[in-house]
C-alpha cells in the first residue's frame, strides 16, 4: 500500500514538473515564474495609442533604461474599430508592431484589452457605434454586448496572438475587464468574458480592482488571479482578506500604483 502511494505521489510530482516545463509563464502562491525562474515584475503603463508611433522606440528604450522589464498596455477598442467591422491597425494602432519593438528592447507585455479599459478614455474605450445596436447594455451579461466584445477580442487575438509568451513572444498575461468591482457584480457577465478570453488567448489572466471588499468581491472571477490597484499596503491586505477562492490567489501585483492624484476638469 505504501509503495502504491509513493508511486502515485511520484506520478503527481512528475506531471506537475511537465506542466511547469511547458508553461513558460506561470505563478505559485507568491512568485511569478518565467521560463522556470522567479520573475520580479517591474512594470509601467505605456499605451501605444497614446504615443506617436514614430516615438515608440525612444519611449521603450527609456522605459528599459528606468529599470522596467514589463510594459502594461491598454488597447482602445474605439480606435481599432471606429466603425463596426472596419479594423484600423495602422500608425498608432499597430499594436503588434509596438509589442515586437518592446520585445526587441528587452521588455515583456501585460495586455489590458478591456473591453472596458478606463474612465480616463471616452466611454471607457467603447466605440460609439455600440450605442446604435438595439438592446445594447454595456458591461453586462447582455447578448449584443457579448457578441460585439467577442468579435473585438477575437480580432485582437488575430493581431497579437502569435506574440504571446507561449509562442515565444512578450505577452505574459492578459487582464479581463478593468475595475469592474467599482461598477457592478454581475458574475455571469464576468464568466462569459472569461470564456471569450480563454478561447482567444492561452496565457494567464488576471483582474484588477480597488482594495475594498465590495470591489474585490464584485470583480473577482473564479480561476482568474485577483489583483488590486492604488495603495499597496491596504490593497494587498484587502486581497488576502476578501478573496477567499484559492483559484484566484497568487503573487501580489499592484495593477495601477498612483504617483499623484488625478484631477478632472
* Upstream peptide bond of 115 is cis (omega within 30 degrees of 0): yes
Q: What are the DSSP calls for 69-109, one per residue?
A: -EEEEE--HHHH-SBTTB---SGGG-HHHHHHHHHHTT-EE
256 is annotated as an active-site residue: yes
Q: Catalytic residue among 81, 159, 177, 179, which? A: 179
Residue ranges in the chain assigned as alpha helix (H) = 2-22, 56-65, 77-80, 95-104, 143-160, 187-200, 213-219, 232-242
Return phi, psi of residue 39, to 5°. -125, 110
Contact 107, 60 (CB under 8 A): yes
Q: Provide the 3-class DSSP secondary structure of residue 226.
A: strand
Q: How far apart are CA 39 and CA 99, in angstroms?
A: 19
Tell me the sheet residues that pair with 71: 44, 109
Q: How many helices (H) and strands (E) does the chain have?
A: 8, 9
Cα end-to-end distance, the chain, whole Å: 72
Residue with cell string 513572444: 169
Contact 187, 193 (CB under 8 A): no
Q: Give catalytic residue positions.
A: 179, 256
Amino acid at each position: 500500500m505504501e509503495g502504491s502511494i509513493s508511486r502515485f505521489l511520484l506520478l503527481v510530482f512528475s506531471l506537475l514538473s511537465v506542466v511547469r516545463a511547458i508553461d513558460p509563464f506561470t505563478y505559485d502562491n507568491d512568485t511569478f515564474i518565467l521560463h522556470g525562474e522567479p520573475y520580479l515584475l517591474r512594470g509601467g503603463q505605456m499605451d501605444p495609442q497614446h504615443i506617436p508611433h514614430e516615438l515608440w522606440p525612444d519611449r521603450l528604450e527609456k522605459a528599459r533604461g528606468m529599470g522596467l522589464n514589463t510594459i502594461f498596455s491598454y488597447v482602445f477598442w474605439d480606435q481599432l474599430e471606429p466603425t463596426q467591422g472596419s479594423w484600423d491597425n495602422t500608425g498608432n494602432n499597430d499594436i503588434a508592431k509596438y509589442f515586437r519593438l518592446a520585445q526587441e528592447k528587452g521588455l515583456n507585455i501585460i495586455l489590458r484589452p478591456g473591453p472596458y479599459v478606463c474612465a480616463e478614455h471616452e466611454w471607457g474605450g467603447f466605440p460609439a457605434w455600440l450605442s446604435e445596436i438595439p438592446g445594447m447594455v454595456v458591461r453586462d451579461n447582455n447578448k449584443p454586448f457579448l457578441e460585439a466584445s467577442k468579435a473585438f477580442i477575437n480580432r485582437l487575438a488575430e493581431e497579437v496572438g502569435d506574440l504571446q509568451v507561449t509562442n515565444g513572444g512578450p505577452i505574459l498575461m492578459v487582464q479581463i475587464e478593468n475595475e469592474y468591482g467599482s461598477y457592478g457584480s454581475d458574475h455571469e457577465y464576468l464568466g462569459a468574458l472569461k470564456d471569450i478570453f480563454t478561447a482567444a488567448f492561452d496565457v494567464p489572466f488576471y483582474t484588477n480592482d480597488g482594495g475594498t471588499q465590495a470591489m474585490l468581491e464584485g470583480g473577482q472571477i473564479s480561476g482568474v488571479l485577483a489583483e488590486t490597484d492604488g495603495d499597496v499596503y491596504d490593497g494587498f491586505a484587502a486581497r488576502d482578506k476578501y478573496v477567499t477562492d484559492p483559484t484566484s490567489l497568487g503573487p501580489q501585483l499592484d495593477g495601477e500604483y498612483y504617483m499623484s492624484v488625478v484631477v478632472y476638469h
